[in-house]
Structures are given as C-alpha cells and as structure tokens.
Chains A and B, each alone.
Chain A
Amino acid sequence: MGTANLYQEVILDHNKKPRNWGKLSNPTHQAEGFNPLCGDRINLMLEVSHESIVDIAVEGDSCAICKASASMMSATVKGKTVGLAECLVAEFREMVVGDKKKGVSNKLGRLKVFQGIRELPSRVKCAVLPWHTLFAAVNSQNNVTTEGSDDPTS
C-alpha cells in the first residue's frame, strides 16, 4: 500500500473524527507518551475493572499517523481484557517492526492498514507511540518516550 493510500484510509476518517478522544473523569490507569523526534505527545487514560478495559480516552497533539493509530487502537481495545490488549500491543509492534516474513496476525483486523508504515522507517514510531503508551499505562508506568532505553522499536 502506498503512502497516499495509507493516508487516505486513515486520515479521511480517524484523523478528522478520532474515536474516544478526550479525558476520563475516573481513570484507574494513565500514561503520557512522547516522541521527542517529532513532538508527538499523547495522553492516555483507562478505566480497568475486573481485568477489563471498560473505558479508554486519548488526547494529545500529534501527526495524522499517530492520531489515527491512537484512535483505531482505542476502538479496538475498548471492552477487551488487559491480557488481550497486551497481546495486541505485541502483535502491532511485530507487524510494524518485526520479521516481515512471519506475516501479520489476523487478530489485528483493520489495524493491518498500518502494515505499510514499514516502508516509512522514520514514521514507525508515530504509529507505535499509542501502543507503547497503552502498554505503559497497564503496567503502571506514567511516562514513556520513543527514544533512549524506552525505544519500542529496538
């Protein structure tokens, strides 16, 4: 899939009307993710009850790829168990930075639109940031960045 196609798919929809955008009044988990290379910053809040993500909210200031990734992620993990969400984090990461030959997990569904980001190495971190932040939130880590020892792509 070409870059323009990727943009068309994700921008026309999720960038303009991001799902679950905003804040939660009583979050049980929260994390802020930052990509110092391009300035993407997102704030993620979760309400977890009985090991399930009953509500999720994201807000921030970011590029279209990061915003669309965050929006689609929120729609995907809402209502899922924390365990399944963590499994999706790993599979999303594998899809965009892992071994290409392994193929892509069917569990990712519509998120497979981000496969094409592999061809844009400088933008991989934009797509991964929301997932990296979700992982931090469920593991009670409040701040993550895409650089240094936190780097989710290395």
Chain B
Amino acid sequence: MNKLAHRKEVDKEGLNLGEIRKDFPILETVVKGNPLVYLDNAASSQMPIQVINRISDYHLSEHSNIHRAVHYLSEKATAEYENSREIVKNFLNIESSKEVIFTRGTTNGINLVCQSYGSKFLKEGDEILISYLEHHANIVPWQLLSEKIGTKLKVIPMTDDGDIDFEAFKKLITKNTKFLSLTHISNALGTVLPIKEMVEYAHEYDIPVLVDGAQSVPHAEVDVRDIDCDFYVFSGHKMCGPSGIGVLYGKSKFLEKMDPYEGGGDMILSVSFEKTVYNKVPYKFEAGTPPIAQAIGLGSAVEYLQEIGMDKINQHEKNLLRYATDELNKIPGVRIIGTAENKAGVISFVIDGVHPHDIGTLLNDDGIAIRTGHHCAQPIMDKYKIPATARASFYLYNTMSEIDKLINGIYSIKKLFGA
C-alpha cells in the first residue's frame, strides 16, 4: 500500500512515465520471456523515437559532406550540423559556439586536451592532479602523456564513503601543479563531486581544470560558465543520443593557443608542401569528415531532454535512487558501495557470497540489465578490496516497479546461493 502511494506521488510530481516510455521502442524488448528492465544507463542510455527519426531523416533527405560543396545537400547538412552546435551551446550555457568542438566521445575529448594542451604547455616535472574516482578514460591518457614528456600524475584520495577528500586535495596542490582533471560524477559509485568549489580553489593557483561530464550532462542541468571550468567533456550515447559523438567545451583563450589534435581536411585554411595554415576554432580540432548524422542526433537528443526538463529528470532519478537505496539496505548481506551524501542515480552493490558476475548473469534471466565488473575504475575496486560490483543506473524512463523487480531478483539469487 505504502509502495503504491509512493509511486503515484512520484508520477504526479515528476514525469509522465507512461508517455515517456512510449518514446523508447527498445523498452518493449522481451528477454527470456520477461519484459526488459534496462538499468545500465551509466554505460549507455537508450534513444527515443524522436532521435531515431531525426537521424533517419538526415540519411533519407539531408546527407552529404559538410563545409565543402556548394550544392543543396551539402548546404543543408552543414546547416543542420552547425545547428546542433548551437543547441549544445545553449544547453550548457556556453558563451560562443566556437567553444563547442564535436568529438567521438568523452574519451576522445580528454585525449584531445591531453595532446593539444598537455603536450604543448606542460613540461617535465609539472604535476597533473586527478582524483581516485576517475574512469580509466581520465587516468590512462594522462599516464601516456607523463610517459612521453615526464609530467607527474598525482591522485586526490577519496573517503571510505566514496567522497572526494577536499582537505587532501588542497594539500596536494603545489607550485608544480599545472593541471587538474576531474570527473563531475563517478560512474562507478555515483558520487557527485563539489566541482564548482574545486574549480574555484584550483583557479586561485591559476591551474586549468578539465571536467569529465559523461555522467552529469545526461542527468542534471550543467552550466559551464557557472562552474567556470576551462574544459568540459561528455558523450552523446549516455544522454539519449547515438554513440560515436561527444563534445569538448573549451574556453576560447585556451583553444586558440592549442595545437591541432589531428591533421587532415576541414581543419586547414590552406595547404602547401611548405606550409599549412590551420582553420579557426572549432574547426581546427575537427579534422576529416565528422560524424555528421551523430552530431545531428545529439542535437535532437538535447532538444528531447530539454522539452521534458532537466530538473524533472534529475528529481525523478533522485526518487528512484532513494527508493532503490532504501530497498537494498533492507536486504541482509547486501552492501551498497559508495555512500556519499551527494549521489546521482547510480548504485553499486555487492552480495555476500555471490560474485557480481553471477548476479548479472542471473538477473539477465529475469530480463534485468545491469552492469557488473570494475566499471573501468579499477582503483576504486582496489580501495574497497573487491574485484567488482553490480551496478544499477537509472534514467528518465525507469520506474519504481522496475526497482521492485531488481529487488525481487536479488532475493531469488540469495535463495539460489543459500547466501
């Protein structure tokens, strides 16, 4: 009774879930005789029919190469591609569309900054600061850079709850600290970092800051000018858009000075065998034919999310997180990994006596899709001395009854294992 009352309340104050779920045809998938329960949104979210149709329309009636020819289709494709840049610019409150660079995704964006900024402006002995909560995508590129040019990678520790240790962060800053690269929200634990305060503190020492927003842009309103970070990166496929597209936001003052990332067509003004003149930003960083359909799809995804409202989506996910947390805490032998005060709709857990991969395989029998493993965040697993976790992550189309199915599935697994 209580559960039902709670559910109605959520629907009333939040989203029209019935209508939203109709937008996602894939949610009608049947897995082993059960309706799909998709709880792997932190890895990749699903696309609504509006975005699928937009991409399809592009292929049906707008496709051509951009920024090249004078014919109708090329002009149309160029206009739509550039329109997506405008949509992204407005979505994140970016000052100028010149500061919006289309990439292949978050990983690509971090590597771009690493190479184009890091290789040029960092030198041997300089320190790069990251946190314990990073995805491998924000660890390995900096290690590669350090191997090449001799920079040092330092790591801000986290507390047992999975929060950033802010005092330790302050102490780690030295006169040699020349770059800070941080995740906004941990993909493995759901921790929301106090990113604005950290940027402000770093800027007191003139340290540029990159923020990995792969887990934040899809789930909450992000204002890059309010955060005041120098770079911000995210991916399309975690926010109702297609894979193969992402965005790097960078402040003009940095982008203008940075070297190109890749060489090729579109990123040049003139080429001779003696000297090449690079194009202006953002084109300097978009060599070759970009993922045009994907960029247009991303623009469409942003419009879809905006129409529903990021504040409503965020509130809905908070409700789901609170409900799932309460229910998981009631199950004996289940432990939630990452209990920071400020968390997003990501919940990592372990069951005593059951390996996470067995949890994942058996939940799949019930049609429930979760992620199991180290979530590309092995240092976090090492910190908790576990090989892996099971992770459920929520999005706008998930319902309370789907969480009930997850909870029931966990009870069945415990029974099977006698755990």
Contact = CB atoms under 8 A, between A and B. Distances in A.
A21 to B, nearest CB: 15
Contact of A63 (B357, B364, B416): B357
A3 B362 contact: yes
26 contacts: A2-B365, A3-B362, A3-B364, A4-B362, A4-B365, A7-B416, A8-B416, A11-B417, A12-B418, A16-B418, A38-B355, A38-B372, A38-B387, A38-B388, A39-B373, A39-B374, A39-B381, A39-B387, A39-B388, A40-B387, A61-B387, A64-B358, A64-B417, A65-B357, A122-B361, A126-B357
B365 A3 contact: yes
B418 A63 contact: no
A123 B357 contact: yes
Interface string B364-383: 11000000111000000100
Given A11-B417, A62-B355, A38 B361 contact: no
Given A63-B357, A65-B357, A65-B361, 19 more contacts: A3-B365, A7-B416, A11-B416, A12-B418, A15-B417, A16-B418, A37-B373, A38-B357, A38-B373, A38-B387, A39-B387, A40-B355, A41-B387, A63-B358, A64-B354, A64-B358, A64-B417, A120-B361, A123-B357
B373 A64 contact: no
Interface string B350-363: 00001111100110
Contacts of B374: 39
Contacts of B356: 38, 63
A65 B381 contact: no
Interface string B387-409: 11000000000000000000000
A62 B388 CA distance: 10
Contact of B358 (A2, A7, A12): A7
A120 B360 CA distance: 11
B234 to A, nearest CB: 26
Nearest to A120: B361
Interface string A4-46: 1001100110011000000000000000000001111100000
Contacts of B365: 2-4
Nearest to A6: B361
Interface of B: 354-358, 361-362, 364-365, 372-374, 381, 387-388, 416-418
Contacts of B354: 64
Contact of A64 (B355, B372, B387): B355
Nearest to B372: A38
Nearest to A123: B361
A145 B82 CA distance: 47
Contacts of B372: 38
A64 B355 CA distance: 7
A40 to B, nearest CB: 8
A65 B373 contact: no
Nearest to A63: B355
A7 B373 contact: no
Nearest to B418: A16
Nearest to B388: A39
A61 B417 CA distance: 16
Contacts of B358: 7, 63-65
A28 B374 CA distance: 34
A4 B373 CA distance: 20
Interface in A103-154: 120, 122-123, 126
Which of B355, B356, B381 has its CB near the most chain A CB atoms (within 10 A)?
B355
A37 B418 CA distance: 26
A62 B386 CA distance: 11
Contacts of A122: 361
A11 B356 CA distance: 15
Contacts of A123: 357, 361
A148 to B, nearest CB: 16
B412 to A, nearest CB: 9
A106 B103 CA distance: 54
Nearest to A62: B355
Contacts of A7: 358, 362, 416
A64 B356 CA distance: 10
Contacts of B361: 3, 65, 120, 122-123
A126 B358 CA distance: 10
Interface string A59-95: 0011111000000000000000000000000000000
Nearest to A37: B373
Contacts of B357: 38, 63, 65, 123, 126
Nearest to A41: B387
A123 B388 CA distance: 15
A64 B362 CA distance: 11
A33 to B, nearest CB: 14
Contacts of A40: 355, 387
Contacts of B362: 3-4, 7
Contacts of B418: 12, 16
Contacts of A11: 416-417
A2 B364 CA distance: 12
A-B pairs, 10 with minimum CB distance: A39-B387, A63-B355, A63-B357, A38-B357, A64-B358, A39-B388, A63-B358, A3-B365, A4-B365, A38-B388
